[in-house]
């Protein structure tokens, strides 16, 4: 097989078994200091609750652990290695100063229950970030407690529900466009609402006539992602908000795609009543292989009484504290105050950017998506020709004629040194290729990406089998997911 | 802006390639009346050195350099240096959820090892990776029991972490899951008689914590028997993971919801932490959260994939087991490395040191204050009752850069002037002795004040 691109090449890849396979009795990577209090008789203290054996826990040395995890790490693709164009995931650069400041002693080791008097630093960080996010979203109040986007959705809908209940009617359902993330309907169900689908029009936007027909006093809210998952800004947003508000419903915005808007337009200004942000998307906190995230929820004034408790308040002497006396609060959604370490990182990101940097970031993110769109138009089918914001969605319509699907193209992209785009989402586009480059890509990296995608399209015509068998360069080939699900092996067991 | 890899000329060239004149053309789809025509009112762009200064200043205002006796669901244990060395590798730090298995084997294999070690430590057969934290993990475990039993109501131990209880109440509100509470006895343990009375034919599960919020160990066998006899499940929350090194895990539980923060995760003012749910194999299809399974590739080579995704929201939408998507993967990696470093022998020795420090501290505190539930086995926390309000004592301790135990009045007013103290391997004997000195002085001054009053009354 010919070498596909200047970006990637094969190199030696270390093998590494499971840690349990390297373990043997007597090896150790730990050392405790001498005990400065009397030894205790554990069986006397614990009686029948004493544990005798820790089973198959490993016994290995420090250098083995370093090599073990370092070798495994080299089997991962990462933003640090190159473009990671997962649509809807906003895989942008994760600045290292964020990591440095999150590890400053008093910030890393602050205990959530330490007295307010010695928590002023953490409280100041929470307050400053809250103020920044309120300004960025154009909203009026915020909670940082939710641990992730879906958790924020739940918190937002809990407040929506509490608001309606305070008016005497909780209402019955949530409208969700067919292009929405799966978390939206799952969340609505958790908050006790029925889900009603709302179809998109031929331009990929909310169908206004359907919305008008479906909107009534049973609808608590519409959950709208804007720009939506096609990367399209809902141009009729003011109309959508008006239709909802006229019948007493609320407009919930899923802020997953906020990277297209920061510094250019504020959801609070276009009629949104409640929205969540993903600090791990828009505000550069690392995805870390799946988390942690953080999902603050910003709201308009009328929802403020329902915020989760506690909320940060300013005492009369100017010091900060937590207020727990919130009789209308929806309660707590998480112990303590949320993923504080992510607040630190997000604030450091905002500070590194400032207003001009954030605006430039958004402009570059949108510029990059449109540059890729232009580069691949004609090569891949564009199901909706509505203008793109921060991401662009193609389909595999042209390639599927040769039996090649979006997932095959995605796998082949790996051979060219890129992480795949998002496949098969949104659901309204059959065989979707959802591409979000973010602002973190240079022109050079994107030119390589466009070349790679074009080259794969050519391969589909000339030699589709190469694409169908991809990836060819990875440590493992395509894995048998069916057997994995049918006969799950979810832990190591000794032979 | 230093994170943006484009020169003005690059931007010009790209606009030209797209066929646009100005960047504003790209934002034309946004109705003009909503476009922001001013700078955001946020701090100006700062240099890296300024950012570091800002956070160092906040650190100084945040208890930097204080010795602490706080536990209560967030524990200070030593974090081996290699945890941060390894998790800082960009390949772990800046990777996404491992959906593309061929280029995510590092994350996937490490999660598989994590699942294995959690099973070993908890005595369960399967473990997920991961939930947001111990509180939401407990709520999700309870919802799982509701789905598995087809029953609705939940019996909750009053000595469960009060904030876990609050979170569960929030989750339960709109799911038709009535909660009832069972109190604790003189020994700090769940009141078994009351438990028996509380369970009905509609009880899906009993939710307890062990070591419980007071640090004492529950009689899990007895509780399991009562629950199971009535057809209810037992869900056990473990907030202090280090206890598993020396305390027998609740093997009779049907579901364990654990907070793994103690395993190498910084206190971080309450998060991010790492929740985990572990259970029996037969219940796995009702378990929320991501799971990694072992399989083979086309050539028969061992590899790992995310599996049983049909439980999850991106496939099942409103019928999913949970709405959870983003989890705590990088934190789970910290936990994984911590468990690997200490391993079979180290975890036990670590837990023993916690036990010894706490036993010493409790014996010293008992000379002056009253240690509650003194005869019940405990791990690394204990409750001390004083004559004086613990807030007042803590106020004086704070002047000596010591953060005293957590006053319990807010959560358990019936315990009066009580505080929850915690000792780990990080607590020094001299810090314990200093704190005990303050308690002794407090008791002396209360006593002499009382004597003065009595004198005057005579």
Per-residue pLDDT at A125: 98
Contacts for B154 with CB less than 8 Å, ≥ 6 apart? B142, B145, B146, B168, B172, B177, B178, B179, B180, B203, B204, B205, B206, B207
For chain B positions 225-254, those within 8 Å of chain A (CB to CB) are 244-249
Mutation target for B interface from A236, A242, A289: give the one with most B CBs within 10 A: A289
- Give the Cα separation of A208 and A194 in Å (integer): 21
Burial profile B405-416: b = 16 or more Cβ within 10 angstroms, e = fewer? bbbbbebbeebe
Q: Tell me the pLDDT tens digit for each residue of B56-78.
A: 999 999 988 999 999 999 999 99
Output the average pLDDT for chain B: 96
Q: Would the CB atoms of A46 and B328 count as touching at under 8 Å?
A: no
- Placement of tokens 């785009």 in the chain: A421
Please report the pLDDT score of residue B320 as a whole number.
81
For residue A25, give the DSSP letter: T
Q: What is the pTM of this model?
A: 0.97
DSSP A305-365: GG--S-EEEE-TTS-EEEE---TT----SSSTTS-HHHHHHHHHHHHHHHHHHHHHHHHHH
Q: State the pLDDT at residue A2.
A: 57
Cβ neighbours of residue A39 under 8 Å, at least 6 residues apart? B356
- Residue A4's pLDDT band (cuts 50, 70, 90): low
CA distance B242 to chain A (A): 12
Please check whether residue A5 is in contact with residue A416, taking contact to mean a CB–CB distance below 8 angstroms. Answer: yes
CA-to-CA distance for B162 and B133, rounded, in angstroms?
14
Mean pLDDT, residues A205-225 taken together:
96
Tell me which chain B residue has its CA closest to the CA of residue A99: B88
Please list every residue in chain B whose beta carbon sits closer than 8 Å to the beta carbon of residue A111.
Answer: 63, 68, 70, 74, 76, 267, 269, 403
Contact B379, B262 (CB under 8 A): no
Give me A294's structure tokens.
């953080």
Is the CB of B95 less than 8 angstroms away from the CB of A182? no
Average pLDDT over residues B440-451: 90
- Residues in chain A within 8 Å Cβ distance of B45: 351-357
In this prediction, the answer to ipTM > 0.90 reads yes
Nearest to A389 by CA among A363, A352, A420: A363
Average pLDDT over residues A189-202: 94
* A86 lies within 8 A of chain B by CB: yes
Nearest CB to B106 within list A76, A89, A108:
A76
Rounded CA-CA distance B227/B454 in Å is 52
Residue A495 — very low, low, confident or very high, per pLDDT cuts 50/70/90? confident
The whole-number average pLDDT for the span B371-387 is 97
Mean pLDDT of A208-219: 97
DSSP code of residue A267: G
A331: which 2 tokens? 């309660």
Helices and strands (DSSP H and E) totals, chain B: 13, 15
The pLDDT tens digits of the residues spanning B165-218 come to 999 999 999 889 999 999 999 999 999 999 999 999 999 999 999 999 999 999
A307-362 residue pLDDT tens: 999 999 999 999 999 999 999 999 999 999 999 999 999 999 999 999 999 999 99
Q: Report strand pairing: A219-225 vs B418-422.
A: unpaired
Tokens of A239: 């109309």
DSSP state of A47: G
Q: How far is CA A302 from CA A184, A224, A437, A468, in A?
A: 22, 20, 37, 54
B73-107 pLDDT, tens digit per residue, is: 999 999 999 999 999 999 999 999 999 999 999 99
């Amino acid at each position: 097989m010919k070498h596909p691109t200047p970006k990637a090449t094969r190199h030696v890849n270390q093998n590494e078994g499971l840690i349990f396979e390297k373990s043997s009795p007597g090896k150790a990577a730990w050392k405790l200091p001498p005990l400065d209090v009397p030894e205790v008789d554990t069986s006397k203290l614990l009686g029948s609750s004493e544990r005798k054996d820790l089973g198959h826990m490993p016994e290995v040395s420090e250098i083995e652990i370093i090599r073990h995890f370092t070798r495994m790490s080299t089997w991962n693709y990462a933003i640090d290695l190159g473009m990671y164009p997962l649509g809807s995931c906003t895989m942008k650069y994760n600045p290292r100063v964020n990591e440095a400041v999150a590890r400053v002693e008093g910030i890393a080791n602050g205990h959530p229950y330490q007295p307010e008097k010695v928590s002023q630093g953490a409280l100041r960080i929470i307050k400053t970030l809250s103020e920044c996010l309120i300004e960025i979203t154009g909203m009026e109040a915020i909670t940082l407690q939710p641990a992730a986007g879906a958790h924020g959705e739940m918190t937002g809908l809990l407040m929506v529900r509490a608001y309606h209940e305070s008016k005497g009617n909780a209402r019955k359902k949530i409208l969700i466009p067919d292009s929405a993330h799966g978390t939206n309907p799952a969340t609505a169900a958790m908050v006790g609402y029925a889900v009603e689908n709302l179809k998109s029009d031929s331009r990929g936007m909310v169908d206004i006539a359907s919305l008008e027909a479906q909107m009534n006093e049973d609808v608590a809210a519409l959950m709208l992602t804007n720009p939506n998952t096609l990367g399209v800004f809902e141009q009729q947003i003011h109309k959508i908000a008006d239709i909802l508000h006229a019948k007493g419903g609320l407009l919930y915005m899923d802020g997953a795609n906020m990277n297209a808007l920061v510094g250019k337009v504020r959801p609070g200004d276009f009629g949104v009543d409640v929205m969540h942000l993903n600090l791990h998307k828009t505000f550069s906190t690392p995805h870390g292989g799946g988390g942690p995230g953080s999902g603050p929820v910003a709201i308009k004034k009328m929802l403020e009484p329902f915020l989760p408790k506690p909320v940060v308040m300013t005492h009369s002497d100017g010091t900060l504290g937590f207020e727990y006396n919130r009789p209308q609060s929806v309660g707590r959604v998480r112990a303590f105050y949320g993923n504080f370490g992510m607040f630190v990182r997000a604030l450091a990101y905002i500070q590194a950017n400032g207003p001009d940097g954030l605006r430039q970031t958004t402009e570059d993110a949108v510029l990059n998506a449109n540059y890729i769109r232009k580069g691949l138009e004609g090569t891949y089918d564009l199901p909706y020709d509505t203008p793109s914001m921060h991401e662009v969605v193609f389909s595999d319509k042209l390639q599927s004629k040769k039996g090649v699907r979006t997932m095959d193209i995605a796998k082949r992209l790996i051979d060219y040194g890129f992480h795949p785009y998002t496949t098969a989402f949104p659901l309204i586009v059959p065989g979707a290729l959802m591409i979000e480059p973010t602002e973190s890509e240079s022109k050079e990296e994107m030119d390589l990406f466009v070349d790679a995608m074009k080259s794969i399209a050519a391969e589909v015509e000339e030699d589709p089998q190469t694409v169908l068998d991809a990836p060819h360069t990875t440590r493992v080939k395509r894995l048998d997911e069916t057997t994995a699900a049918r006969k799950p092996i979810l832990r190591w067991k000794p032979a | 802006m230093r994170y943006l890899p484009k020169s003005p000329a690059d931007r010009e060239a790209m606009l030209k390639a797209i066929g646009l004149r100005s960047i504003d053309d790209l934002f034309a789809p946004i109705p003009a009346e909503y476009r922001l025509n001013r700078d955001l009112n946020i701090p100006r762009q700062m240099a890296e050195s300024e950012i570091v200064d800002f956070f160092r200043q906040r650190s100084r205002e945040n208890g930097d350099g204080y010795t602490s006796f706080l536990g209560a669901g967030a524990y200070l244990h030593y974090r081996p240096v290699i945890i941060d060395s390894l998790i800082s590798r960009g390949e772990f730090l800046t990777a996404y959820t491992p959906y593309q298995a061929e280029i995510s084997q590092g994350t996937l294999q490490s999660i598989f090892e994590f699942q294995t070690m959690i099973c070993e430590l908890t005595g369960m057969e399967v473990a997920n990776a991961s939930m947001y934290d111990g509180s939401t993990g407990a709520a999700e475990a309870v919802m799982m029991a509701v789905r598995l039993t087809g029953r609705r109501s939940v019996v909750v131990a009053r000595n469960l972490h009060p904030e876990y209880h609050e979170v569960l109440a929030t989750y339960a509100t709109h799911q038709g899951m009535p909660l009832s509470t069972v109190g604790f006895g003189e020994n700090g343990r769940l009141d078994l008689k009351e438990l028996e009375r509380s369970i009905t034919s509609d009880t899906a599960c009993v939710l307890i914590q062990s070591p419980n919020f007071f640090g004492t160990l529950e009689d899990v066998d007895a509780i399991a028997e009562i629950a199971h006899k009535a057809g209810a499940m037992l869900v056990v929350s473990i907030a202090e993971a280090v206890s598993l090194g020396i305390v027998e895990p609740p093997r009779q539980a049907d579901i364990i919801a654990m907070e793994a923060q103690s395993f190498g995760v910084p206190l971080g003012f309450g998060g991010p932490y790492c929740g985990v749910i572990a259970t029996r194999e037969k219940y796995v299809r009702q378990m929320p959260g991501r799971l990694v399974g072992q399989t083979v590739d086309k050539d028969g080579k061992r590899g790992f994939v995310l599996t049983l995704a049909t439980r999850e929201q991106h496939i099942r939408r409103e019928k999913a087991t949970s709405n959870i998507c983003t989890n705590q993967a990088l934190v789970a990696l910290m936990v994984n490395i911590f468990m690997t470093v200490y391993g079979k022998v180290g975890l036990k020795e670590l837990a023993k040191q916690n036990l010894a420090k706490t036993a010493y501290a409790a014996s010293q505190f008992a000379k002056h204050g009253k240690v509650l539930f003194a005869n019940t086995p405990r791990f690394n926390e204990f409750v001390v009752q004083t004559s004086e309000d613990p807030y007042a004592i803590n106020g004086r301790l704070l002047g000596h850069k010591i953060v005293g135990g957590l006053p319990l009045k807010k959560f358990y007013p019936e315990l009066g002037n009580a505080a929850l103290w915690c000792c780990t391997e990080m607590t020094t004997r001299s810090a314990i002795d200093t704190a005990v000195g303050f308690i002794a002085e407090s008791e002396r001054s209360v006593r002499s004040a009382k004597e003065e009053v009595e004198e005057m009354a005579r």
